Amino acid sequence: MHESDGVWSDAGEFDPDAVVWVRGVDYVAGWRAAKDAAAELEKALTAAGVDAAGASVSAAARADGAGVVRLVWPVETVRTVARLLEDAGELKRAG
């Protein structure tokens, strides 16, 4: 997968839906929602004390106009977030 251009599928094949826009689809609304969600995530990570140095979060829109957030995080950031989620799950199960 070529993370930098976003036109490749997870299987490494060219994805025409990533570059073809359809008349009447509101891509801006999807992108705006993704941008807002990315900002919310960055704020939550900061509040949780996650060091996001080297992390990249970007907003985009799919072919159907739905927003998507692409995360490119260093391994340590992913592990920190995974531990936070595991801890949250344990607290939820403990009631």
> Which residues are CB-neighbours of 39 under 8 A, at least 6 positions away?
none
Q: SS3 string of 76-93? A: HHHHHHHHHHHHHHHHHH
Per residue of the chain (95 residues), what is the pLDDT tens digit?
334 445 555 555 666 566 667 788 888 899 999 999 999 999 999 999 998 888 888 898 888 889 999 999 999 999 999 999 999 999 889 97
Q: pLDDT at position 70, please?
A: 92
Question: What pTM, to 2 d.p., does this model score?
Answer: 0.70
